[in-house]
Amino acid sequence: MNDLVKKLLLLSFLLSTFAFAGFDSALQKQKFLSPDEAFQVSAVLKDDVIETKIIMADKIHVYENTLYYRIISPSQVELTVTKPEAHDFDGDMVYEKELIVTISTQEIESKVKGDYTLEIEFQGCSDAGICYQPIKKTFDFKGAELGVFDKISKLVKEGNTAKIADILVNESSIFILLLFFIFGLLLALTPCIFPMIPILSSIIVSQQGGDEEPSVAQAFFTSLVYVVSMALTYTAVGIIAGLVGADIQTAMQTPWVLTVFAAMFVALAFSLFGYYEIGLPVSWQSKLTKASDNAQGKGIIGTAIMGLLSALIVGPCVAPPLGGAVLFISHTGDAFLGGAALFVMSIGMGMPLLLVGIGAGKFMPKPGGWMTVVSQTFGVMMLGLGIFMLSRILPDSLTMILWSLLFIGSSLYMGVFNPSNVTHGAKKLFQLLAMVFLLYGASLFIGGISGSTSIIRPFEKFTQPKGSVDNHVLSNSEKGHRGYSVERLMKEVSASDKPVVVDFGKKSCTACTELEEITFPDPRVQEHLKNFTFIKIDLTDNTDADKALLKKFELFGTPNIIFFDTSNNYLAEKSLTGFVPPEDFAKHLESILK
């Protein structure tokens, strides 16, 4: 009995051993297909439809509820398509062998304009039990030819200078000039043009004699001379930068030039206040008055000079159209078309200034006490422009204190502490505005002495949590952002295991400040920036290394933002120029991560 049991146990062991050996051999022989072998995806344009096809290998299926068709560029659009009938497989609706879905191009072109990218997303499994990760396949298609207004609508949103340069190559001259004029009108709404408004207004005011009726024709002619001289300057700067690489605007941002220009604004302010006679020798008075009168433009030449200087010093920020035109000139050498585009764009930028001329001549108060108030108002603006110039070379805290003194002084001048029995009616509202100026000026003063650097957030040193540091957005005054070279930048890019954002800015750039104060601190942007390495480069010093950086990446001026992927590849098609709103920048970052 014992021998029989032993034999049976031995036989069972041998059978089980052979069985497992055979199963293991079968597993070794079985090979699971790769995703590309299991699913062959295609999308082909046939007449007015796109025929999409998913061919599945043997014993492979796709789940019906995981199948999506969408447009992902130039915008995100979910497509409603007619799918064939699926069949049941273990309680799930699936497709096998071949799945064909057609999409009408008319439906797509009714939702997106121009070229577009189709994405097909699905998930499939093998009958043997393995399931594949969700699969996304993309296909690029040429869209219908855009109309003129559709093209313009698309291009005015373009922030990549290289793409704008391509427009100059491929479009007609008339379309290009119309497009750049519209670019100019849009740029006229940016802060870079705002400082020119009080400059021009003060010129017009200074030309109105105390007993003369305001002249619409004279004011408009003055504005026209100012705008044309500004436009010719922008055009010349762009052509020179494109042909020889010299950036005259940046060269004009030196401390001594900015100091002289700031002093000019102060001289203008005191001439508008009428204070030259106070305590100054007669000879000094005469020289200052003569210099001020010449600068304010008692004639065509003075106005033209002010327009030229304003273009060089007041508005040095670079916008995508300007950068695109300069890049086009540098690549093709076609200074005529590039220069014409820049001139037309500058005229568009100057349109609000022409309106200022018409308004100053038509709506200017008639000679009398009101003219004195108007002159004094523009005098305060001139002092503000002087501080604006000096802010590019002075420490931020000192600049804040200067702004605080201007606001506090203005509030005192407006009668903030006048007794109640002196002010009546609308003057009460004027006194309320004076109180707001006083409180804001005091806030700036406290912020300045506490080390704050932002006139928008003067109490940032008190409101920021102790020990917290913003790793993504750093102050423009940080010395660590200067002294970069191409080698240093590429070394830091190579050391990153994330995609890299590189922000080129400088202190004299209004749009750069907008990016720092509005775009980069935005919570949506900060959330996306956690997935990037952020490198800020300050080009204020305009060294040879700074110039080499711009030349390396074919950039013109600031602000410019460039990107690198995780393999350290420069993504030229993703570069951005000029101010970018937070929502658009967040979407742009998201597109790079895909």
Q: Please answer whether residues 289 and 271 qualify as being in contact, where contact means their C-beta atoms are separated by less than 8 angstroms.
A: yes
> Would the pLDDT of 368 be above 80?
no
3-state secondary structure 345-392: HHHHHHHHHHHHHHHHHHHCCCCCHHHHHHHHHHHHHHHHHHHHHHCC
pLDDT in tens, 81-126: 989 999 998 888 999 999 999 998 888 887 887 788 999 999 999 9
Q: Please answer whether residues 100 and 2 qualify as being in contact, where contact means their C-beta atoms are separated by less than 8 angstroms.
A: no
pTM, whole model, 2 decimals? 0.62
226 Cβ neighbours under 8 A, 6+ residues apart: 200, 203, 297, 303, 304, 306, 307, 310, 350, 353
At 318, the pLDDT band (50, 70, 90 cuts) reads: low
Q: Please answer whether residues 534 and 501 qualify as being in contact, where contact means their C-beta atoms are separated by less than 8 angstroms.
A: yes
Mean local confidence (pLDDT), 292-307: 63
113 Cβ neighbours under 8 A, 6+ residues apart: 74, 143, 146, 150, 153, 154
Of 18-27, 102-111, 146-155, 348-357, the least confident? 18-27
Return the H-helix or E-strand segment holding 55: strand 49-56
Residue positions counted in the chain: 594
173 Cβ neighbours under 8 A, 6+ residues apart: 337, 340
Please name each of the domains of the chain with its CATH number. Answer: 35-141 (2.60.40.1250), 161-394 (no CATH), 396-469 (no CATH), 479-593 (3.40.30.10)
In whole angstroms, what is the distance from residue 557 CA to residue 508 CA?
11
> Would the pLDDT of 291 be above 60?
no
Helix (H, G, I), strand (E, B) or coil at 118: strand
> Would the pLDDT of 293 be above 60?
no
In whole angstroms, what is the distance from residue 90 CA to residue 100 CA?
23
Greater confidence (579 vs 16) lies with 579
Nearest to 560 by CA among 349, 333, 318: 318
pLDDT in tens, 204-222: 766 665 555 557 777 788 8
pLDDT in tens, 538-557: 988 888 898 889 889 988 87
> Would the pLDDT of 573 be above 70?
yes
In whole angstroms, what is the distance from residue 438 CA to residue 432 CA?
10
Mean local confidence (pLDDT), 131-148: 82
- To which residue do tokens 């005098």 refer? 379
> Would the pLDDT of 18 be above 50?
no
Q: What is the pLDDT of residue 467?
A: 42
* pLDDT mean across residues, the chain: 78
Token pair of 315 as six digits: 């508005």
Greater confidence (22 vs 324) lies with 324
